[in-house]
Chain A
């Protein structure tokens, strides 16, 4: 199986997933194309660019700078700000202040150092540690190990470990942008899952990693941090499901043509030389499930949207419309049903009747307007 995935990717190391990417895996679980590409560790961003549909993502320097500065502020002086918040929110006892900077060791030792520290803390009910800054976690994704470098801190309270996620979006008068909170929760869930895996490997009860994560954000318009507890059980469940699906990616891969590959055929300097049309064909061999929401989560979104347009898919119009159309796959089919130019297939009677009637009503109401040349 691993060989097959390696062949799909070509002779380059698999792309490591960061927490954001792993969290995004759960965004569109129905998409086989994404599942296969991610399982094989294909560089989707480069792939999308090579086929002429670069992803629309970019991060502003201002946002990055601001995020880094806020994180540094929260962690400053042995996490002095964070300590205040945890004492307020979780009633962390005064003696709990020990701070371990895992990055005091070299990069290649960080994962084992993290393991050792967490193991010691899990065995010892004394004061083996409270904060673990810059930990390095590992998570197995479809046979490949991805290392996660959270900007988070794991901390221990009463024998349970919590993940702290530091985000620089503001909480104003007790309210934060729900979209951003949801994204933070998905990311934090990835870290909780990785921490649980680690505890399991070490022979401890994985549930000692709490599903309650601490979200730290600036309050109002100042930089004073404020903390809230976030329950990520739902996100964990979605994530586990999707990772399990990816582990079963064999079924998907087995149905693909034997010679299929997404190899970019990079030259010595890493520039892709594979003919773009050929690569696009290869992508087309795995079914995608495009939805407009992909545009905030997947590098291939413009490619898939273009494909959806080419076949006139109703997915283009968003989930509301697709749900309303009850499974009619293409725009032309739906219009043909509405205009009576096509006999409804089995199970389409109801939607055909609805569309036809909707068409009649529109005609009736717009009759007068058409004359005015209404748009």
Chain B
């Protein structure tokens, strides 16, 4: 074990040296060797870990540290249990899973503790907002409309390697039940306007099963286009592009083929119009749920709050959570300012599109010179 650790340290140092002198090939080889050593180490330590009791994150180098005092242990247990977990922090676990969170958590907590993972509270409550904005943008989560896709994965703490953890690994399995294109469609249909991946992920998490990952949407538009070209109109709907006024596909926006063409056009005013429309839809949906006596999910409330913050007058007195009626009123008021010009721009571009574009281009955008160049590059 010691020898292995020494070897790992050496390898790490060598990798970094190689990186520093930009010897990519050597670095690659060293990294591979490092991974092997780390795997060996993991295997060895896992064997040992089975025999040792769980520890909290702060141990002592000489491994004789004082045990956490009773109060703090009790506190942790409390946080892990459903009783004191803020509803808010629990949101992601409760949404749509059909599971009573309380029934799910203690097991996880125990699992996390058994595996010696830091604080059980972290594993269990899914760390509602802590990852937002700071998490990997590459995978699309984080930020204003952050989803909990990564956290959803994180909720499987301690579970994934255990057979009993099947339902806890919902991040993957739930997403697996409903194809990605249907999940995206659900969200877009609710929003009623072209939207970017982050918004779609956030809406899905707020009102549907959640667990959608922006990373899985990257090839979606291309796949849809291929499918359409192979057998036009074979499917009831396609997830397609929003079109710029130049009729090229707008970057990063998704739309639904069954929408009227002018709704799929984006003028310079459209991002704002669509944002306000989306805010209104979100607020209406929450009203609907409340009216039916259902509790909107924490993610939904959070989504509404973050949208309302950016609409003048939508949160009088900055009181959280915002009243959906205020949001609807404020969004409508601002919409009135932008709508006429936006609608005119959309209509004129839509007429041009209908005149100039073939069906497939109408859905997926005209291949402009620049696209050709991009593909060539």
- Whether A and B touch directly in their complex, counting CB atoms under 8 A apart, is answered as yes
Point out residues on A near B: beta carbons under 8 Å: 49, 54, 65-66, 68-70, 72-73, 76-81, 83-84, 87, 94-95, 97-101, 103-109, 127, 129-130, 218, 223-224
Could you tell me if A223 and B337 are in contact, using CB atoms closer than 8 angstroms?
no
Select A106's contact among B135, B137, B270, B369, beta carbons within 8 Å. B369
**Bound complex: CA of A78 vs CA of B277, how far in Å?**
13
Select A65's contact among B138, B334, B373, beta carbons within 8 Å: B138
**Once the chains are docked, how many angstroms separate the CA of A73 from the CA of B129?**
14
The answer to whether B251 touches A99, judged by C-beta atoms less than 8 angstroms apart, is no
CA distance A167 to B145 in the complex (A): 19
B290 CB contacts on chain A under 8 angstroms: none
CB proximity of B333 to chain A, nearest CB, Å: 9
Query: Considering the chains assembled together, what is the distance between the CA atoms of A73 and B137 in angstroms?
Result: 10
Given contacts A69-B142, A70-B133, A94-B337, contact A49 B373 (CB under 8 A): no
Contact A87 B268 (CB under 8 A): no
Using known A-B contacts A68-B137, A77-B271, determine if residue A105 contacts B370 with beta carbons closer than 8 Å: yes
| Bound Cα distance from A79 to B132, whole angstroms | 18
9 smallest beta-carbon distances between A and B, as pairs: A106-B370, A78-B271, A223-B133, A98-B268, A73-B143, A69-B137, A97-B272, A77-B275, A80-B310
What residues of A have a CB within 8 angstroms of the CB of B21 in the complex? 49, 54
When the two chains form the complex, which single residue of A49, A84, A104 contacts B310, counting CB atoms closer than 8 Å? A84
Q: Are A72 and B22 CB-contacts (below 8 A) given A77-B271, A101-B250?
A: no
- In the complex, the answer to whether B143 meets A223 with C-beta atoms within 8 Å is yes
Is A100 within 8 A of B310, CB to CB? no
Whether the Cβ atoms of A97 and B338 lie closer than 8 Å is: yes
CB-contact partner of B133 in A54, A73, A77, A105, under 8 A: A73
Contact A73 B341 (CB under 8 A): no
Chain B 128-141, CB-CB to A under 8 Å as 1, else 0, gives: 00001111111000
- How far is B267's CA from A127's CA once the two chains are assembled, in angstroms? 12
> Are the C-beta atoms of A69 and B271 separated by less than 8 Å?
no
**Complex Cα distance A97/B335, Å?**
11
Taking a contact as CB atoms closer than 8 A, the residue among B136, B199, B248 that contacts A69 in the complex is: B136
Q: Interface centre among B20, B248, B268, B338, by most A CB within 10 Å?
A: B268
B373 touches A97 (CB 8 A): no
Q: Chain B 99-143 against A: per-residue CB contact (8 Å), 1 yes, 0 no?
A: 000000000000000000000000000000000111111100011
Shortest beta-carbon distance from B218 to chain A in Å:
15
- Determine the chain B residues whose CB is within 8 A of the CB of A73 once the complex forms: 133, 142-144
Of the A-B pairs whose beta carbons lie under 8 Å apart in the complex, a sample of 20, sorted by A's number, is A49-B22, A65-B136, A68-B138, A72-B143, A73-B133, A73-B142, A73-B144, A76-B144, A77-B274, A77-B275, A77-B278, A78-B272, A78-B275, A80-B310, A83-B272, A84-B309, A94-B312, A98-B269, A105-B246, A105-B248
A-binding residues in B (CB < 8 A):
20-22, 132-138, 142-145, 196, 198-199, 244, 246, 248, 250-251, 267-272, 274-275, 278, 307, 309-310, 312, 334, 337-338, 341, 368-371, 373-374, 377
Query: With A and B bound together, what is the CA distance between A223 and B141 in angstroms?
Result: 14
Give the CA-CA distance A129 to B373 in the complex, in Å.
27
B132 pairs with A223, CB closer than 8 A: yes
Flag if B133 contacts A69 (CB, 8 Å): yes
Tell whether A109 pairs with B370 under 8 Å between CB atoms, given A72-B143, A73-B144, A87-B312. yes
A101–B242 alpha-carbon span in the complex (Å): 13
CA distance A78 to B2 in the complex (A): 55
> Which of B20, B21, B271, B312 is most buried by chain A, counting CB atoms within 10 A of its CB?
B271
Beta-carbon nearest neighbor of B338 in chain A: A97
Could you tell me the distance between the alpha carbons of A77 and B203 in the complex, rounded to whole angstroms? Answer: 13
For residue B307, which residues in chain A have a CB less than 8 angstroms away from its CB?
A: 80
CB-based contact A106/B374 at 8 Å? yes
Instruction: Please give me the residue from chain B that is nearest to A64 by CB atom.
Output: B137
Determine the residue in chain A with the shortest Cβ distance to B199.
A77
B144 pairs with A81, CB closer than 8 A: yes
Determine the chain B residues whose CB is within 8 A of the CB of A69 once the complex forms: 133-137, 142-143
Chain A residue contacts of B270, Cβ below 8 A? 78
Contact indicator B373/A106 (Cβ below 8 Å): yes
Chain A residue, CB-CB nearest to B376: A106
Residues of chain A with a CB closer than 8 A to B135's CB: 65, 69
Report the bound CA distance from A74 to B244 in whole Å: 22
Contact of B268 among A72, A84, A129 (CB under 8 A): A129
Contact partner, B251, options A70, A76, A101, Cβ 8 Å:
A101
Interchain CA distance A101-B270 in the complex, whole Å: 12
What A residues does B199 contact at CB under 8 A?
76-77
Q: Hey, which chain B residues are within 8 Å of A99, CB to CB?
A: 268-269, 271-272
Cβ-defined contact, B269 with A97, below 8 A: yes
Q: How far, in angstroms, from A204 to B369 measured CA to CA in the complex?
A: 30
A108 and B374 alpha carbons, distance in the complex (Å):
9
Measured in the bound complex, the distance between the Cα atoms of B370 and A297 in whole Å is 37
Is there an interface contact between B250 and A104, defined as CB atoms closer than 8 Å? yes
Residue of A nearest to B369 (CB): A106
- Give the nearest-CB partner of B270 in chain A: A78
Q: Is the CB of B338 within 8 A of A223?
A: no
Known contacts A69-B142, A76-B143, A77-B196; A95 and B310 CB within 8 A of each other: no
Question: Hey, which chain B residues are within 8 Å of A106, CB to CB?
Answer: 368-371, 373-374
Q: What residue in chain B is nearest A218 (Cβ atoms)?
A: B133
> Using Cβ atoms and an 8 Å threshold, which residues of chain B touch A95?
337-338
A106 to B271, CA, bound (A): 21
Tell me the bound Cα distance from A224 to B132 in angstroms. Answer: 11
Counting chain B CB atoms within 10 Å of each CB, which of A69, A81, A127, A223 scores highest? Answer: A69
Which partner residue on chain A sits nearest B248 by CB separation?
A: A104
CB distance from A126 to the nearest CB of B (A): 10
User: Whole-angstrom distance from the CB of B18 to the nearest CB of chain A?
Assistant: 12
Chain B nearest CB: distance from A218 CB in Å?
Answer: 8
CA distance A224 to B144 in the complex (A): 8
- Chain B nearest Cβ from A66, distance in angstroms: 5
Q: Which residues of B contact A130 (CB under 8 A)?
A: 268
Give complex CA distance A107, B269 in Å: 23
- Complex Cα spacing A66 to B278, Å: 27
A225 to chain B: closest residue by CB: B144
Given contacts A87-B312, A100-B268, contact A76 B137 (CB under 8 A): no
Q: Is the pair A83, B244 in contact by a Cβ cutoff of 8 Å?
A: no
Chain A contacts of B251 at CB under 8 A? 101, 103-104
- A54 vs B16: C-alpha distance when bound (angstroms): 13
Q: Which among B143, B196, B373 is the interface contact of A107 at CB below 8 angstroms?
A: B373
B145 surroundings in chain A (CB, below 8 A): 76-77
